[in-house]
Structure 1
């Protein structure tokens, strides 16, 4: 199988990467997009050791679509399902724990709704930039980025929040949480992310905590599009949550960094394996509990 990876990569001009890079794809109700997201990896499989799709209890056919697409890739793919609706942040916590205990060196986050493109990250991996920083963060709002179908109103709102967070943190932040990022697992292991919120604000906790912990952060421009995706963000409520979160960071920083912003314990972040491309007999939902 490895020889197949090398041959394909050579033909496409992609240099194989022998590091342990895990691709984590969080998914929720994106049956129409998850297959396209997985097939973005076609032709660059040799760069990665494994892919996990973590479904957050979707009510559509996301899991079925993910399994169908996974079978077309030439690398190990596991499709997981959270034991409960743990939120986007909860899925990240499960994936971080998995990457750490399975000995991966780096973790790539690629959202399952096919808005971002893995191709924007590949040149940075090729150049070895991920080895010189703690995280590479895809940025929708920095020079060189490309937005398709993204409203001017949402763009303006995001840029305002980027400036507010930049002022509060003392570092220029070009995006507070896109769907394409790469983390060094050892850096994440030493971050107290378990107490961060489980909902969509998880990324805001991450960016502020990593700046405060003096991580080496590098932003890179990405392409981002909206066509058949359905947003789960309620703009007014989300904006109020974000402002409250930022206020806590500014005036009660210790509580923000070390506080418990979730009612769950670390053992609650677990998923069941529903598909494993390396097995001839598929699991029937085996619990995968962080240790």
Structure 2
């Protein structure tokens, strides 16, 4: 398959940040990507219009701003975007969250080196050598390091992030659409990680930069950590049965703006 990369940007009430995220796409990453899909999850702050205005400033970039037909949560938005990437012949999907905490340029060197061609997924890691954190509280850093160490011991595989806002997946790896059996909620990226470990997939962590400035998070850290520990501990039982549930009927998005 020809190297053809979709950048998927999930967004919910990110009007203050989405313009900065879109501006990232005019940098070194631009010649490496084929299309951008900004997928809004029912924002009430005018985010889609901000995204449109920012993307229109980037010459030669194919982009779509769309809105989910319902609020599918973070995991559900991933599922819709993965389906789109598979159905439209993309070779890879880069997931870049719309809240401007990650920088997509952190993946440029990995792409230029062809790491995405040798792995099923590249996972942005905030807590490994070479990563850079800005404005991230010491409390949260300690909590994440502790969770990474504990889950690494459980699964016997070194974990340096449970799921950041910058990841890449091969559509060959996604082709069975196993992801439709995972939860729609915020732990979806972590479930993707532990499914990869269970299935013996070939993935690699890549150090990234991460910042917290004007973002608002819906995550409840302690509850989310307990959910992740449950997935790690019970991964064999959770992932042993092949998915048998098709995507929800009618699940999809409507195009709002397009280049």
TM beyond 0.5: yes
Residue 276 (1) aligns with residue 239 (2):
no
Partner of 2:24: 40
Residue 257 (structure 1) shift: 4.7
**2: CA distance, partners of 1:172 / 1:129:** 19
TM-score computed with the length of structure 1 as normaliser: 0.83
**Structure 1's 221 and 267: CA in aligned 2 closer, same or farther, altered over 3 A?**
same
Residue 242 (1) aligns with residue 228 (2):
yes
Partner of 2:35: 50
Residue 241 (structure 1) shift: 2.5
Contact kept, 8 Å, 1:195 with 1:258, in 2: the verdict is no
Q: Which moved more, 1:238-247 or 1:190-199?
A: 238-247
**1: CA distance, partners of 2:170 / 2:150:** 26
Partner of 1:10: none
Partner of 2:14: 30
Deviations 1:101-121 (A, max 9, x none): 000001111111110001110
Residue 255 (structure 1) shift: 3.2
**2: CA distance, partners of 1:125 / 1:110:** 15
Contact kept, 8 Å, 1:136 with 1:182, in 2: the verdict is yes
Task: Compare relative contact order (CA 8 Å, sep 6+) and give the higher one, 1 or 2.
Answer: 2
Partner of 1:160: 146
Q: Any unmatched runs of 5+ in structure 2?
A: none
Deviations 1:186-242 (A, max 9, x none): 101135110100010101110000111111111111110001111111223323322
Larger Rg: 1
Give the total of aligned pairs. Answer: 256
Structure 1 vs Structure 2 CA RMSD: 1.9
**2: CA distance, partners of 1:267 / 1:168:** 36
Q: Any unmatched runs of 5+ in structure 1?
A: 1-17, 278-291
